[in-house]
């Protein structure tokens, strides 16, 4: 069963099953005939995204509590085995998200349905992602660069692979039908891009300009990849030596290239090899936790100015084992506010068809993605 | 309303949908499109054409939302009605980027099929290698393709053109058709000839499709990206295929499940055109959060795209992976290293050194740790070394020696077996190895007792191999070692080992008796028969070509079938190029092709499907029994018998068959005259050896006699030489050890029974291996004679026997063999009914008044019966087949 659990596509004699696992919940879809498997998987991901958007987060109890909503959503999202409405904005208009008021109303009036009676206008418009009559008192648009750094540092401490996976997230609170143009100062560093359906392809092909009619509210405008970066903001230096049945571990963490902003919520996580019986780990900064499944977490937080945080300790190997031959991989998490490590810069954001009073905001944040240090 | 699935109201719904399809509101039209598949599922013949008409109207719509839904309807209702697409092709292409994402996925596929069907493949695309192959009609001739490629002006591209050919061919033809085609390469009519190609640069439709799908490579829906990539992979010119690489690699960053699917597809792309992915090898470095399947796929891709320039960094990565806590993954890595080394022979030395170091390191701990994973890594690393050495044994002499040395410390039986195999295989390589041999063999003999069974068998084999090529003074030592080993083996607990020891002893009885090697040489004239036989058996490995067959299956990129590696129900390969132009003709000739091919397989021996299989079957039987009567009296007319077999052996080109046939004649002779010549037993056990080694199934007398039989019948119904290629595998029904010297074996003769089509014909051979005459030999069904002992039956077989009791007789009563002389072989045709299940049939064999229980195991292949049918019925039946892999079975998912 463990094997099946990790297979995204399962072939049974009569059916094919696609599965994804999100937050401990397995979403299954099944088919009897040939279809693009990614279509199934992508749809499941979309369902999971929208459910977690509606319910705030995703867990078993929440789904049980809001079963009616989940059912209504699925009913709208898929029809006769084909995805129908998956645009979150339209769904939001059709089915009101759960909140206290609606719960009260349903209890008082006895009307349990929260599907709206009127058809959302956007279904008929040529921009299906945007409702037709949006009105805001304050017109605001926020553009966030959210970047994740993927890196692999091998046993010799050499940076094998370092790249940024970034997203441009826009929170658009604009009245009417605005038309936005976003341009970057240095679009040439982008290795590859993917766009929200609202982005027009022609301007990007010719001038590398993003021209779009935004959906309402928060959405992911584009995602991009910047490859072959040369340095990482922090270093992690693990050292494991083993002799006569015990293993000494010491891990040093420090700042390598100061990005100019503080690096916080640094967390180091690693899985102890199965041959280790017990571990005694201490650190001079932060807290260390060893869970029963041998996952060890060292939360550092911010790196102090006066000293370099280090973790040290001894581990007892299985009886009969002299030296350690399999080594753990350390997963590093960190967050840097205010900096996009890829160096991507937004040049300007132009708007058309918008009222004159307008607030534009830009932010950037870099997190660690699949940031691994092997030992 | 369409959701109400009642046949009664469907005409009403159809009218409503037809009205809605012309409604001014976009949303209404979209809903109408969504309702169409539901209507269609009611399967009412009279409304189908009306539905298709509405689909046509909706496809012509201006609004992208409607077109998306209409595309979905089209795909489920009439995926082959290309005229509907043809009318709106341009409009559809232009609207494609604006269609909603789910509709895009289906629309892309529809457009691709339409273009292939109407315009054929693109000349500049990778699919054009198909053209080269087809026009030259030489499937395996890689050279031809390379020449053709150089003509195209791309001389530096090195890729596995045979593989590309296979991939493209399987896209178009589908797997089943491909197999039947390749089974009769000569007979096929190539309907895919060069005229069906178009140029991507001049054809506007193709250009338009490529233009419209290329922005979709930026879509944020990974399914759309993959579908668009598939179009470019098939249609775009070679120079432009690289456009799909970056988007494909980018969608690797999405969720774990889609990562696996994308990797599966990239794997095929990378195998066919490795140079595409060469610069991006870093993207396939494994991260610890990947699932095991993704890791394994990444390793496979890495080893197929590795080049001289990237090999060093890839190897550094591999070194890291070997220390991964997941030992399964580490073993895979070791295998990948072996693959890389075979791909780049220059790196072989580095690889071998690394692997040897790894083995040494493993050895330090493997005796203490009992973990399964460690043993796997060790075995895998020896397999890798073995495959590297195989390429060029002479320059890895030192490695081989090192492995011999480490034999002492390696404890895993599988690993030991492989090293011992290498001892035998490379015993004559280089200078030092021959000198070491005696020491190694002494060591092996010393530890023989404590070995596992497979190691013991391998030690025996190896000693013979060494013995065969030993020279001079070593010969004596080795011979003595060998006889010592044989003595040990003969007293072994395992009877496989004992049997093999006895067999070898008989084979080498000359060499052992006459311990002076010169004498052996001198007497070679007389005794070369067993020696040649031994040479044939043990030297065979060298002749085997190192080419590994490409047994992967390929399906369209992005399809479900590509992931599960079988054709899912509803999977359709690309339509025949230009099939919509000369539609009827092409499909007709093609289906004829297929019918004859299938007919050939079914009837088995007659190449002409129109022949009545029943008559040919009975002819075969007659001629078989004719021959039987000859064969059963070799003692009386041994001259004619020998001549018969010998001449028959001459006609075969395989030397092994020749020898064995002569041997049988010889043994028959000897058996009749009771001369006690030592050859006899050796020949007897030879057959057992064949069943062990499984090298030449059915090369012993049953197939020989069958071949004669086939040839005799061929004189009458004039079939080709196909029967000679078909060798029936023979199974042992009764071992001489259990049956007091009576040996019974059977083979499935693919003949139709004369009594009932449900009966399966078996050729059963009764052979008397003892020295006494046997009488009243017959086989009966236990169930019909109620005198059976149920005590030792297991539960499962009891159940099966209960069910079979209620049915018809399972065994047609056999003609009794009144007496069987020693050494004599009799043949009977058994007609058995297996009730279409695979459980063995319990029969009772009566012999000399005693009853022996035997089990007859069915072979599923022979449940298939030839069914004569004309073209219309065939097409009709074929259309009813739901899919190759559909069978009902309860399946519950437990977590």
Residue B301 pLDDT greater than 80, yes or no: yes
Residue B777 pLDDT greater than 50, yes or no: yes
* pLDDT number for residue B132: 44
Q: How confident is the model at residue B692 (pLDDT cuts 50, 70, 90)?
A: very low
Residue B887 pLDDT greater than 70, yes or no: no
What percentage of chain B exceeds 70 in pLDDT? 55
* pLDDT number for residue B539: 54
Both tokens of residue B620?
């075969």
* pLDDT number for residue B637: 37
What residues in A contact B888, CB-CB < 8 Å?
A: 13-14
* pLDDT number for residue B693: 40
Residue B704 pLDDT greater than 80, yes or no: no
Length of chain A: 375
What residues in B contact A31, CB-CB < 8 Å?
A: 560
Residues whose CB is less than 8 angstroms from the CB of residue B641 and which lie 6 or more positions away in sequence, other chains included? B630, B631, B633, B634, B665, B668, B669
* pLDDT number for residue B398: 76
* pLDDT number for residue A17: 85
**Beta-carbon separation of B893 and A4 below 8 A:** yes
What residues in B contact A169, CB-CB < 8 Å?
A: none
Interface test with A, best of B96, B288, B322 (most A CBs within 10 A): B288
**Beta-carbon separation of B560 and A165 below 8 A:** no
Residue B378 pLDDT greater than 70, yes or no: yes
* pLDDT number for residue A11: 80
- Say how many C-beta atoms besides its own lie within 10 A of residue B228's C-beta: 28
Residue B107 pLDDT greater than 80, yes or no: yes
Residues forming a β-bridge with A179: A352
Average pLDDT over all residues of chain B = 64
Distance from CA of B440 to the nearest CA of A (A): 31
Q: Is A305 among the domain residues?
A: yes
Question: Do A174 and A149 fall within a single domain?
Answer: yes
User: Of the candidates B183, B172, B192, which has an alpha carbon nearest to the alpha carbon of residue B132?
Assistant: B192
What residues in A contact B249, CB-CB < 8 Å?
A: 192
Residues whose CB is less than 8 angstroms from the CB of residue B159 and which lie 6 or more positions away in sequence, other chains included? B272, B273, B274, B275
Q: What is the mean pLDDT of residues B176-203?
A: 41
| Helix, strand or coil, per DSSP, at residue B864 | coil
Question: Do A97 and A170 fall within a single domain?
Answer: no
Residue B703 pLDDT greater than 70, yes or no: no
| Residue A115 per-residue DSSP state | B
* pLDDT number for residue B708: 40
Distance from CA of A103 to the nearest CA of B (A): 30
**Beta-carbon separation of A80 and B34 below 8 A:** yes
* pLDDT number for residue A102: 63
Question: Do A143 and A74 fall within a single domain?
Answer: no
Highest mean pLDDT among A147-156, A251-260, B54-63, B757-766: A147-156
CA B430 and chain centroid, separation? 36
Give A330 or A259, the one with higher predicted confidence. A330
**Beta-carbon separation of B368 and A165 below 8 A:** no
Lowest mean pLDDT among B163-167, B388-392, B583-587: B583-587
Torsion sign (Cα): B810, B812, B818, B822:
negative
Q: How many angstroms separate the CA atoms of B97 and B93, rounded?
A: 8
Q: How many angstroms separate the CA atoms of B300 and B318, rounded?
A: 12
Instruction: Determine contact, residues A51/B577, Cβ cutoff 8 Å.
Output: no
User: Of the candidates B147, B137, B151, B111, which has an alpha carbon nearest to the alpha carbon of residue B235?
Assistant: B111
Question: Do A347 and A220 fall within a single domain?
Answer: yes
Query: Going along B793-895, which residue ranges are E strands?
Result: 817-820, 825-832, 841-847, 850-856
Question: Do A304 and A242 fall within a single domain?
Answer: yes
**Beta-carbon separation of B37 and A9 below 8 A:** no
Highest mean pLDDT among A209-223, B180-194, B428-442, B767-781: A209-223
CATH of the domain at A325: 2.60.40.1170
Residues forming a β-bridge with B845: B779, B852
Question: Do A14 and A113 fall within a single domain?
Answer: yes
User: Of the candidates A189, A175, A186, which has an alpha carbon nearest to the alpha carbon of residue A141?
Assistant: A175
Mark residue B573 as left, alpha or beta (left: phi above 0; alpha: psi -120 to 50; beta: remaining): beta
Residue B22 pLDDT greater than 60, yes or no: yes
What percentage of chain B exceeds 90 in pLDDT? 0
Interface test with B, best of A2, A194, A243, A318 (most B CBs within 10 A): A194
Give B729 or A181, the one with higher predicted confidence. A181
* pLDDT number for residue B577: 62
Q: What is the mean pLDDT of residues B763-779?
A: 76
* pLDDT number for residue B145: 36
What residues in A contact B104, CB-CB < 8 Å?
A: none
Q: Give the end of a domain, one of A94, A124, A154.
A: A124
Question: Do A261 and A317 fall within a single domain?
Answer: yes
Residue B747 pLDDT greater than 60, yes or no: yes
CA-based angle B364:B366:B367, to the nearest 5? Answer: 90
Interface test with A, best of B30, B253, B317 (most A CBs within 10 A): B253
B145 to A3, B134, B135, B550: CA distances (angstroms) = 42, 10, 10, 17
* pLDDT number for residue B347: 74
Q: Is A158 among the domain residues?
A: yes
**Beta-carbon separation of A11 and B34 below 8 A:** no
Which residue of A11, A271, A322 is in closest CB contact with B325?
A: A271
Question: Do A188 and A150 fall within a single domain?
Answer: yes
Residue A241 pLDDT greater than 70, yes or no: yes
Provide the pairing of β-strand B817-820 with B742-752.
unpaired
Give B126 or B523, the one with higher predicted confidence. B126
Q: How confident is the model at residue A374 (pLDDT cuts 50, 70, 90)?
A: confident
Q: How confident is the model at residue B228 (pLDDT cuts 50, 70, 90)?
A: confident
**Beta-carbon separation of B255 and A128 below 8 A:** no
Interface test with A, best of B325, B326, B559 (most A CBs within 10 A): B325
Residue B555 pLDDT greater than 80, yes or no: no
Q: How confident is the model at residue B836 (pLDDT cuts 50, 70, 90)?
A: low
* pLDDT number for residue B511: 55
* pLDDT number for residue B678: 41
The CATH architecture to which B725-783+809-886 belongs is Sandwich (2.60)
Question: Do A118 and A14 fall within a single domain?
Answer: yes
Instruction: Determine contact, residues B771/B680, Cβ cutoff 8 Å.
Output: no
Both tokens of residue B653?
């080109």
Give A206 or B698, the one with higher predicted confidence. A206
Residue A267 pLDDT greater than 60, yes or no: yes
* pLDDT number for residue A115: 59
CATH of the domain at A36: 3.30.450.60
Q: What is the pTM of this model?
A: 0.66
Question: Do A310 and A345 fall within a single domain?
Answer: no
Residue A349 pLDDT greater than 80, yes or no: yes
Residue A211 pLDDT greater than 80, yes or no: yes
Q: What is the mean pLDDT of residues B267-289?
A: 81
Instruction: Determine contact, residues B834/B800, Cβ cutoff 8 Å.
Output: no
Q: Give the end of a domain, one of A124, A157, A175.
A: A124
Distance from CA of A356 to the nearest CA of B (A): 30
Which residue of A13, A124, A370 is in closest CB contact with B287?
A: A370
Residues whose CB is less than 8 angstroms from the CB of residue B185 and which lie 6 or more positions away in sequence, other chains included? B139
The rounded radius of gyration (Å) of the Cα atoms in chain B is: 33
Q: What is the mean pLDDT of residues B876-895?
A: 56
Question: Do A66 and A109 fall within a single domain?
Answer: yes
pLDDT tens string B636-681: 333 333 334 333 433 433 333 333 333 333 334 343 334 334 444 4
* pLDDT number for residue A56: 81
Residue B272 pLDDT greater than 70, yes or no: yes
Both tokens of residue A86?
């998956």
> Residue A17 is part of which domain span?
9-124
Residue A151 pLDDT greater than 80, yes or no: yes
pLDDT tens string A28-74: 888 888 888 888 888 888 888 888 888 888 888 888 888 888 888 88
Q: What is the mean pLDDT of residues A258-264?
A: 79
Nearest chain B alpha carbon to A27:
B257
pLDDT tens string B478-526: 777 878 888 888 877 778 888 888 887 777 666 544 444 443 444 444 4
Nearest chain A alpha carbon to B319:
A155
**Beta-carbon separation of A8 and B260 below 8 A:** yes
Question: Do A94 and A181 fall within a single domain?
Answer: no
* pLDDT number for residue B879: 67
Interface test with B, best of A1, A32, A82, A153 (most B CBs within 10 A): A82
Q: How many angstroms separate the CA atoms of B586 and B191, rounded?
A: 7
Q: What is the mean pLDDT of residues A276-290?
A: 84
Instruction: Sort A241 into a burial class: Cβ within 10 Å, 0-12 / 13-18 / 19+.
Output: exposed
What residues in B contact A191, CB-CB < 8 Å?
A: 246
Residues forming a β-bridge with A217: A172
pLDDT tens string B409-441: 777 778 888 888 887 777 777 677 777 777 888
Residue B148 pLDDT greater than 50, yes or no: no
Q: How confident is the model at residue B583 (pLDDT cuts 50, 70, 90)?
A: very low
Interface test with A, best of B302, B333, B560, B895 (most A CBs within 10 A): B560
What residues in B contact A205, CB-CB < 8 Å?
A: 215
Which residue of A7, A34, A82 is in closest CB contact with B561?
A: A34
Distance from CA of B448 to the nearest CA of A (A): 28
Phi and psi angles of residue B35, each rounded to the nearest 5 degrees, phi first = -75, -25
Give B871 or B169, the one with higher predicted confidence. B871
* pLDDT number for residue A186: 84
**Beta-carbon separation of A38 and B262 below 8 A:** yes
**Beta-carbon separation of A9 and B563 below 8 A:** yes
**Beta-carbon separation of B285 and A196 below 8 A:** no
| ipTM surpassing 0.90 | no
Nearest chain B alpha carbon to A11:
B564
What residues in A contact B570, CB-CB < 8 Å?
A: 32-34
SS (H, E, C) B345-358: HHHHHHHHHHHHHH
Distance from CA of A137 to the nearest CA of B (A): 31
How many helices and strands (H and E) does chain A possess? 7, 21
**Beta-carbon separation of B570 and A45 below 8 A:** no
Give B92 or B814, the one with higher predicted confidence. B92
Q: Give the end of a domain, one of A101, A124, A147.
A: A124
Highest mean pLDDT among A120-129, B80-89, B299-308: B299-308
Q: Report helix angle B495-507 to B679-693, nearest 10.
A: 130
What percentage of chain A exceeds 70 in pLDDT? 88
Largest CA distance in chain B: 104
Lowest mean pLDDT among B242-256, B559-573, B631-645: B631-645
Lowest mean pLDDT among A183-192, A202-211, B287-296, B733-742: B733-742
Q: How confident is the model at residue B28 (pLDDT cuts 50, 70, 90)?
A: confident
Instruction: Determine contact, residues B589/B597, Cβ cutoff 8 Å.
Output: no
Count up the domains in chain A and report the number. Answer: 3
Q: How confident is the model at residue B178 (pLDDT cuts 50, 70, 90)?
A: very low
pLDDT tens string B40-55: 777 666 677 778 888 8
* pLDDT number for residue A104: 64
Q: How many angstroms separate the CA atoms of B564 and A181, rounded?
A: 44
């Amino acid at each position: 069963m463990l094997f099946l659990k990790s297979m995204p596509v399962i072939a049974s004699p009569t059916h094919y099953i696609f599965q994804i696992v999100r937050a401990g919940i397995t979403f299954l879809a099944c088919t009897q005939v040939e279809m693009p498997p990614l279509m199934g998987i992508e749809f499941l991901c979309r369902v999971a995204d929208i459910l977690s958007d509606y319910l705030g987060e995703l867990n078993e109890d929440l789904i049980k509590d809001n079963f009616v909503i989940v059912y209504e959503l699925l009913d709208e999202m898929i029809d006769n085995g084909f995805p129908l409405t998956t645009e979150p904005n339209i769904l939001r208009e059709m089915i009101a998200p759960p909140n206290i008021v609606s719960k009260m109303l349903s209890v008082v009036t006895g009307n349990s349905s929260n599907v709206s009676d009127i058809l959302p206008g956007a279904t008929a418009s040529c921009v299906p992602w945007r409702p037709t009559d949006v009105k805001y008192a304050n017109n605001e648009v926020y553009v966030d660069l959210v970047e994740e750094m993927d890196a692999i540092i091998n046993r010799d401490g050499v940076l094998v692979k370092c790249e940024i996976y970034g997203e441009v997230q826009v929170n658009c609170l604009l009245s009417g039908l605005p038309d936005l143009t976003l341009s970057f100062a240095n679009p040439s560093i982008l290795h590859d891009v993917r766009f929200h359906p609202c982005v027009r392809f022609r301007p990007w092909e010719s001038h590398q300009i993003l021209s779009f009619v935004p959906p309402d509210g928060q959405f992911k405008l584009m995602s991009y990849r910047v490859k072959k970066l040369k340095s990482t903001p922090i270093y992690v230096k693990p050292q494991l030596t083993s002799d006569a049945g015990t293993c000494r571990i010491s891990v040093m963490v420090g700042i390598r290239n100061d990005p100019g902003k503080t690096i916080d919520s640094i967390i180091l996580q690693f899985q102890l090899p199965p041959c280790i019986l017990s571990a005694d780990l201490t650190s001079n900064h932060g807290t260390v936790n060893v869970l029963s499944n041998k996952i060890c977490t060292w939360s550092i937080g911010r790196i102090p100015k006066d000293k370099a945080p280090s973790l040290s300790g001894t581990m007892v190997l299985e009886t009969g084992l002299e030296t350690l031959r399999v080594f753990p991989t350390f997963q590093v998490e960190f967050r840097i506010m205010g900096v996009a490590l890829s160096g991507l810069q937004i040049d300007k954001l132009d708007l058309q068809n918008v009222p004159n009073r307008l607030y534009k905001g830009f932010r950037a944040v870099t997190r660690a993605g699949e940031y691994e240090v092997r030992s | 309303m369409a959701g109400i699935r009642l046949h009664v109201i469907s005409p009403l719904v159809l009218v409503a949908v037809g009205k809605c399809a012309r409604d001014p509101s976009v949303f209404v039209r979209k809903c109408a499109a969504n309702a169409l598949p539901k209507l269609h599922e009611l399967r009412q013949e009279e409304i189908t054409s009306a539905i298709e008409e509405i689909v046509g109207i909706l496809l012509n719509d201006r609004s992208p939302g409607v077109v998306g839904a209409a595309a979905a309807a089209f795909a489920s209702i009439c995926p082959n009605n290309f005229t509907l697409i043809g009318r709106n092709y341009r409009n559809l292409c232009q609207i494609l980027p604006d269609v909603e994402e789910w509709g895009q996925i289906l629309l892309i596929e529809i457009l691709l099929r339409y273009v292939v069907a109407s315009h054929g493949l693109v000349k500049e695309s990778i699919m054009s290698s198909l053209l080269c192959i087809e026009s030259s009609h030489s499937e395996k001739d890689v050279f031809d393709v390379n020449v053709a490629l150089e003509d195209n002006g791309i001389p530096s591209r090195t890729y596995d053109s045979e593989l590309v050919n296979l991939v493209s061919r399987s896209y178009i033809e589908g797997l089943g058709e491909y197999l039947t085609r390749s089974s009769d390469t000569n007979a096929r009519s190539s309907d895919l000839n060069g005229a069906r190609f178009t140029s991507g640069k001049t054809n506007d439709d193709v250009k338009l499709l490529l233009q419209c799908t290329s922005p979709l490579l930026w879509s944020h829906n990974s399914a759309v990206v993959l579908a668009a990539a598939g179009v470019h992979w098939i249609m775009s010119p070679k120079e432009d295929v690289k456009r799909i690489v970056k988007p494909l690699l980018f969608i690797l960053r999405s969720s774990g499940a889609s990562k696996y699917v994308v990797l599966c597809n990239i794997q095929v792309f990378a195998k066919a055109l490795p140079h595409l992915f060469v610069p991006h090898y870093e993207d396939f470095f494994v991260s610890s959060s990947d699932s095991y399947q993704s890791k394994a796929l990444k390793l496979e891709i890495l080893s197929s795209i590795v080049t001289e320039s990237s090999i060093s960094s890839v190897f550094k990565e591999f070194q890291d992976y070997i220390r991964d806590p997941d030992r399964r993954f580490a073993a895979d890595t070791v295998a990948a290293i072996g693959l890389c080394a075979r791909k780049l022979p220059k790196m072989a030395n580095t690889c071998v050194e690394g692997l040897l170091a790894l083995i040494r390191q493993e050895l330090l701990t493997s005796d203490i740790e009992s973990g399964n994973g460690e043993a796997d890594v060790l075995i895998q690393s020896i397999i890798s070394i073995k495959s590297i050495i195989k390429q060029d044994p002479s320059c890895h002499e030192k490695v081989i020696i090192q492995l011999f040395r480490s034999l002492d410390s390696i404890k895993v039986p599988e690993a030991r077996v492989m090293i011992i195999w290498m001892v035998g295989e490379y015993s004559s390589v280089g200078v030092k190895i021959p000198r070491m041999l005696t020491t190694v063999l002494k060591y092996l003999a010393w530890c023989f007792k404590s070995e596992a069974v497979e190691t013991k068998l391998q030690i025996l084999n190896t000693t013979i191999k060494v013995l065969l090529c030993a020279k001079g003074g070593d010969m004596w030592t080795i011979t003595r070692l060998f006889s010592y080993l044989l003595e040990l083996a003969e007293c072994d607990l395992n009877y496989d080992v004992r049997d093999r020891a006895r067999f070898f002893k008989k084979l080498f009885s000359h060499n052992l008796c006459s311990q002076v090697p010169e004498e052996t040489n001198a007497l070679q004239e007389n005794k070369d028969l067993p020696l040649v036989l031994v040479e044939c058996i043990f030297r065979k490995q060298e002749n085997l070509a190192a080419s590994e067959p490409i047994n992967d299956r390929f399906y369209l990129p992005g399809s479900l079938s590509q992931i599960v590696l079988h054709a899912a129900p509803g999977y359709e390969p690309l339509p025949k190029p230009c099939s919509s132009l000369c539609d009827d003709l092409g499909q007709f000739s093609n289906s004829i092709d297929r019918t004859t091919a299938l007919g050939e397989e079914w009837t088995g021996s007659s190449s002409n499907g129109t022949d009545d299989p029943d008559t040919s079957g009975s002819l075969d039987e007659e001629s078989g029994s004719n021959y039987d009567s000859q064969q059963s009296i070799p003692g009386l007319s041994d001259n004619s018998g020998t001549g018969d077999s010998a001449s028959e052996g001459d006609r075969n080109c395989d030397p092994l068959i020749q020898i064995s046939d002569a041997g049988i004649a010889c043994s028959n002779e000897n058996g009749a005259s009771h001369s006690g010549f030592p050859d006899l037993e050796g020949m007897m056990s030879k057959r057992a050896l064949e069943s062990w080694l499984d090298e030449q199934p059915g090369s012993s007398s049953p197939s020989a006699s069958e071949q004669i039989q086939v040839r005799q019948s061929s004189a009458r119904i004039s079939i080709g030489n196909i029967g000679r290629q078909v060798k029936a595998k023979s199974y042992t029904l009764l071992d001489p050890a259990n049956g007091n010297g009576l040996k019974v074996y059977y083979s499935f003769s693919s003949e139709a029974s004369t009594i009932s089509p449900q009966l399966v014909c078996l050729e059963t051979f009764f052979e008397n291996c003892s020295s006494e005459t046997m009488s009243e030999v017959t086989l009966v069904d236990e169930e019909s004679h109620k005198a059976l002992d149920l005590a030792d039956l297991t539960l499962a077989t009891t159940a099966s026997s209960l069910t079979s009791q209620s049915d018809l007789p399972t065994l047609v009563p056999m003609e009794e063999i009144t007496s069987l002389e020693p050494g004599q072989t009799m043949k009977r045709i058994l007609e058995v009914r297996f009730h279409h299940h695979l459980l063995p049939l319990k029969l009772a064999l009566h012999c000399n008044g005693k009853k022996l229980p035997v089990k007859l195991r069915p072979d599923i292949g022979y449940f298939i019966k030839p069914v004569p049918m004309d073209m219309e019925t065939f097409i009709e039946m074929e259309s009813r087949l739901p899919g190759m892999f559909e069978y009902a079975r309860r399946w519950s998912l437990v977590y």
